[in-house]
Chain A
Amino acid sequence: DAGITQSPRYKITETGRQVTLMCHQTWSHSYMFWYRQDLGHGLRLIYYSAAADITDKGEVPDGYVVSRSKTENFPLTLESATRSQTSVYFCASSERWGGVEKLFFGSGTQLSVL
């Protein structure tokens, strides 16, 4: 009953480095989402996926890449990290996205870009 797990929990990197944040869910939910949470902005959607091999941009996708080769995994890659990408990143999942489905969140990854 692990639910949705994110790794690493904390990450420090340098500008220009590539970083991948992992997200794994055990429910076989179809929909998965990546959000970032920043003071003054709240939660903003980066990318989402409706199923394996189907992804789409959210509100703030620039500088990020996602993939979803398997239903249970939805990694988020920062191709060349910038200081403005310092944030807390949350992965979320939902069984469907057409009715009363709730969103379930992971515990987050706190990323610092120096």
Chain B
Amino acid sequence: KQEVTQIPAALSVPEGENLVLNCSFTDSAIYNLQWFRQDPGKGLTSLLLIQSSQREQTSGRLNASLDKSSGRSTLYIAASQPGDSATYLCAVRGFITQGGSEKLVFGKGMKLTVNP
């Protein structure tokens, strides 16, 4: 059974720091991995999706990397801003299993606070 872990559960940093958020998963047979952002009282917004054949994806100040063999992904946030304060979740998607349907397995998230 796939398990996704995000450590630490919370992080507080001053504005301007470059950040690395970690995500680890137990089963390396994944189809893709997504990083989401969740603001308080809101739904999840997809930030980046990395296919299993890819090593990284970039969007603006965000860069996500994937190392399937070690079961790890990192989300790099450059020059953090107070507006980056949110909970960040990673989710992995496995391959279709016979008689079933693959689904996303989520980590519990990491709450980021960027202080001005």
Contacts and interface: CB of A to CB of B under 8 A. Distances in A.
A105 interface: yes
Interface residues of A, number: 23
B56 to A, nearest CB: 15
Nearest to A35: B106
A107 B32 CA distance: 24
Given A102-B34, A103-B46, A42 B103 contact: no
A43 B106 CA distance: 6
B30 interface: no
Contacts, number: 48
Chain B residues touching A, range: 20 to 34
A102 B44 contact: no
Contacts of A90: 43-44
Interface string A37-51: 000111111001010
B42 A107 contact: yes
Contacts of A105: 43-45
A56 interface: yes
Interface of B: 32, 34, 41-46, 49, 51, 89, 91, 101-104, 106-109
